Structure 1
Amino acid sequence: MAFVTAVEASLPGASRISPSDACVIEILYWYPKQAESVEIEDFYTGNSIDLLEYRITTRVADSTTHNAIVSARRDAAGRADDPGGEVELFTLPESLVVQVMHHGPFKDEFETLARLGAFARERNLRRSGPHREIHIDPFTAQTPQDALRTILRDPVA
């Protein structure tokens, strides 16, 4: 997350969505095809977490070019956690989603996901893509989690 934030901060002003605001991170999580299929409420408990794959993203301006990303990645490599991390422009496909704002520690997300899963089931909707978490507040391992805001979002069909 620190690396993606550093790359975003290194983009030229015109390529950043909001030069003065904190970088909002969205992480997409999924299991490999051979893993057991899981629904919203059992996403983190239906398979071993070790199988989880992910992509860390942030929003950039539509005018952002591949060359701007390459340059920002090079600039960020000196001050970020993962100088070897891959960076690319990625367009998140449009989809119908269910979502909820989770307040507080990550360990309490299970209860929030259970409510979100029940909401989807009541409408005959099933998870149809990667689980997403949008981290509104920047955080590190030392950040108190009581006030964190995380949007939990799942594409559905």
Structure 2
Amino acid sequence: MDKLDLTKTDKTYYGASKKPELIALPVLPYLQMTGSGSPESDAFKAAIEAMYTAAYSIKALCKQAEQDFTVAKLEGLWWVEDMSLDPLETPRELWQWTLLIRQPDYVTAAIAEEGLQTAMKKKPHMPVERVSFGQLSEGTCVQMLHVGPFSTEPETLAIMYAYIEEQGLAISGKHHEIYLSDFRKTAEESLRTILRYPVSK
């Protein structure tokens, strides 16, 4: 039985380069969980654990049905409630986020719900009840690979902002990060993160 690995089969989604580029994305299915607060907080760490617990429960169901897959990379949407403020100058405790783990197209709402119920029973101490299954439609996006610590992201974002302006585009959605590296285990200077923004004319 072949195992689906989205990071290998979807080069557009996971294959950003070190230069900004325009891509077009279809509507895609995800596990998702929304919260607020600093990424260093215990609540954020618990949210990550809950997301992976849910993802692996769904993977187990699909494997039983001979549709095994590799659990996809963790992703995050980030924003602040007052969009007139610079997020990087806003206290991290006020940051809003939605964690995402992309799902294969064959994962249905029914499969996801069964997996979530199993995960809640298996790990009742985790906030799995806050994980849901849904879709994200970002359409046309600008993305770029950032290599290094999160603290130097503004340098990469500045290049992206200039490119967006040059193309006559405007940001039309939330700051999106795809964590190609496990930031819990990888040295900061080696972190690889895709930065993405939905854009429109």
Count of residues paired in the alignment: 149
The residue matched to 1:61 in structure 2 has which SS?
coil
* 1:106 aligned partner: 150
* 2:139 aligned partner: 95
The answer to whether structure 1 residue 124 and structure 2 residue 168 are counterparts is: yes
Task: Report 1:16-27 matches (<5 A).
Answer: 19=69, 21=70, 23-27=72-76
State the TM-score, normalized to the length of structure 1.
0.77
The answer to whether structure 1 residue 146 and structure 2 residue 195 are counterparts is: no
CA-to-aligned-CA distance 1:44-101 (integer Å, 9 cap, x gap) = 3254433322111111122223343233234434459833551212111132111110
Is the CA contact 1:10–1:72 (under 8 Å) kept in the aligned structure 2?
yes
- Aligned AA (2:79): W
Is the CA contact 2:146–2:194 (under 8 Å) kept in the aligned structure 1?
yes
- Structure 1 pair 118/29, CA: closer, same or farther in 2 (3 Å)? same
State the TM-score, normalized to the length of structure 2.
0.62
- Aligned AA (2:75): E
**How far off its partner does 1:108 sit?**
1.2
Is the CA contact 1:103–1:149 (under 8 Å) kept in the aligned structure 2?
yes
**How far off its partner does 1:144 sit?**
1.6
* 2:54 aligned partner: 7
Identity %: 30
Q: Which runs of 5+ in 2 are unaligned?
A: 1-47
- Aligned AA (1:24): K
**How far off its partner does 1:4 sit?**
1.3
- Structure 1 pair 16/120, CA: closer, same or farther in 2 (3 Å)? farther
Query: For 1:53, which of 96, 99, 107 is the aligned residue?
Result: 96
Is the CA contact 2:172–2:197 (under 8 Å) kept in the aligned structure 1?
yes
* 2:78 aligned partner: 29
Once the two structures are overlaid, the 10-residue window that deviates more, 112-121 or 72-81, is 72-81
Spell out structure 1 runs of 4+ moving beyond 2 A.
13-19, 44-52, 65-85
1: CA distance, partners of 2:68 / 2:188: 25
2: CA distance, partners of 1:17 / 1:109: 37
Higher helix fraction (1 or 2): 2
